[in-house]
Structure 1
Amino acid sequence: MKVDTYTRKLTRLRKVASHVDAHLGESMCLDELAGIAHMSRFHFERVFNEYSGETPVARVRRLRLALARQRIEAGGVGSLLDLAFDSGYNSAEAFSRAFRAAHGLPPSAVRPQAQTPSPIRIEFLQGQAIQYIPFRGQLGCGITPFDELRAHALIAGIPRERRKGWCVQLSGDMNDSGSEVELQAALQSDKLGQHIPGLEQGQLPDGHYAVLRVSGGFGIPAHADLGARIAAETSWKILPDAPLLRCFHNSAYLPAGFERQFDLYVPVAA
């Protein structure tokens, strides 16, 4: 399969995943999701399962239960029955059984947790070889360069555990879908063990970085807010105009927005 064909397929699957994420509180059927992917129901279910490691129906159930746990931990839940209905279950008993099967404990055993920012650490990053897709333009609502990168790796037969993903943000604001950005969607070369045809070769910029874990999407704090927080917590200062790095930690290829996690590497100087 050609890379552009595979990329379009991955982009369509991501569009389906985004639709599921945005409508978890509503009923969904396979025919509707297959239509979004522009595939037959049978083909869609098979392709989605092969790529994401779960069927579309299993994804909906898993995410509803994961979101239910997050709501309990955030302390904003009313009755168990309301939570069951919101999660697509007709009774509190059925919801509790499914919740225990998914999380290993009943909803009543989950306690609210204080939401605190992840701590910042200072790390010296050695220069590391990467293979990447260059991108310059508006990302819009998609992440096409990363889908293209993954398509190259899949066609080359690189196992999932060897695809360590990075983003080198050279310019622009990735928080603004209408902003022009320049970036490299990258994989770490030493993990790959081979050169992948169609990818350019480069290096992650070495140096000192303030590193913090970001959860719940691709957005990051504004540059001024980042600088103020880093200075307050570490006494280091952001280097202006130096690339920002993101190191992705999701094991799944189609994580929901609230499941996404990455380490943000902000270049700093003492």
Structure 2
Amino acid sequence: MTAALHNYHDRMQRVLDYIDRHLDGDLDLDTVSGVAAFSKFHFHRQFSATFGVSVHSYIQLIRMKRASHQLAYTDAQSVTDIAMDAGYDAPDAFARAFRQRFGQSPSAFRKSPDWELWHAALGPLDKARSKLMQTTFTPTDVTIRDVPATPVAIMEHRGDPATLGATIQRFIAWRKAANLPPKTNPTFTVWRSERRPASPADYSIDLCVGTDQPIAAGDEQVRAGEIPGGRCAVLRVVGNTDNLEPAALYLYREWLPASGEEARDFPIYGQRLSFYPDVPQHEAVADVFLPLK
């Protein structure tokens, strides 16, 4: 029974990975059921039973998620190009579907996204992906590294996590203007509070980009700082990097007490190594660092 269940989950995971890689292609029922090696007459019911949404709705959601990222975080693509990438023949049809999903037109979302509505709209997608992508970590997944100190520019986010998307937008715009792209300058997130503190006002993280260039005088958006060097327990996460909390909690709650190690006086932090939607979502990679004495 256990082997059969693993095999079933593996086949469904292949479907999700295939959809991630072929969002621009023809993802009809014949194709995706063939990837899973299931009969197309039963596959749509099996998919819905496993993930809580139909395969058609899942594909629409993940295409809309990519489109929203392209609108909010990139300015190289026009709304028309993004509409075509999302599988729509005309921008008007895309705009109607986008507004119905997120409560804003694509152009309004690009200018000022309502992230609270966005999170609510994509809740079914996050829930569906978590069915198979919830990772169980083990001590062998953790490595200990001597990490060099890294000078960084820091943009702080303090307050309601629902507004974090707006801070990320400003951070991306700032690093573009400063010519600090992710390919040459590492990206870090320092978590200074819980992911869901009792009061949203207490939520606190730092968005950081590795650089030793001086901060321009009068630049109130960022400040200079450092990711300190030293020993760290490191846990790599592949795929579900939208939520690194399970990895952080594993390091704190399970690995650290059993390891005999002692945490250093610096918050747990993450480094983004590859980014969605630059790579398919299941190929996104991040490392989570727990500083040690």
**TM-score with structure 2 setting the length:** 0.48
Q: Of Structure 1 and Structure 2, which has the larger fraction of its residues in helix? A: 2
Q: CA deviation at 1:175?
A: 5.1
Q: CA deviation at 1:236?
A: 1.6
**TM-score with structure 1 setting the length:** 0.51
Q: CA deviation at 1:55?
A: 3.3
1:188 lines up with 2:213 in the alignment = no
* Corresponding residue of 1:95: none
Separation in structure 2 between the aligned mates of residue 143 and residue 28 of structure 1, nearest angstrom: 18
Name structure 1 gaps, 5 residues minimum: 1-21, 59-66, 75-113
* Corresponding residue of 1:148: 170
| CA 1:121–1:173: 2 relative to 1, 3 Å | same
**Deviations for 1:195-247, whole angstroms, at most 9, x for unmatched residues?**
575431111133321110123122323876433432476432334x6311110
Asked if the contact 2:237–2:247 (Cα under 8 Å) also holds between the matched residues in 1, the reply is no
* Corresponding residue of 1:214: 237
* Corresponding residue of 1:24: 58
1:237 lines up with 2:262 in the alignment = yes
| CA 1:115–1:168: 2 relative to 1, 3 Å | closer
One-letter amino acid of the structure 2 residue matched with residue 45 of structure 1? T
Of the candidates 135, 138, 154, which is equivalent to residue 157 of structure 2? 135
Q: How many residues align?
A: 181
* Corresponding residue of 1:4: none
| CA 1:136–1:27: 2 relative to 1, 3 Å | closer
Asked if the contact 2:180–2:209 (Cα under 8 Å) also holds between the matched residues in 1, the reply is no
SS at match of 1:153: helix
1:55 lines up with 2:89 in the alignment = no
| CA 1:200–1:57: 2 relative to 1, 3 Å | farther
Separation in structure 2 between the aligned mates of residue 136 and residue 213 of structure 1, nearest angstrom: 26
| CA 1:116–1:185: 2 relative to 1, 3 Å | closer
Matches within 5 A, 1:91-102: none
Of the candidates 45, 61, 65, which is equivalent to residue 80 of structure 2? 45
Separation in structure 2 between the aligned mates of residue 222 and residue 176 of structure 1, nearest angstrom: 18
More contact order relative to length (CA 8 Å, sep ≥ 6):
1
SS at match of 2:269: strand
More off after superposition, 140-149 vs 199-208: 140-149
Name structure 2 gaps, 5 residues minimum: 1-55, 89-124
| CA 1:249–1:176: 2 relative to 1, 3 Å | farther
Asked if the contact 2:155–2:206 (Cα under 8 Å) also holds between the matched residues in 1, the reply is yes
* Corresponding residue of 2:286: 262
* Corresponding residue of 1:119: 141
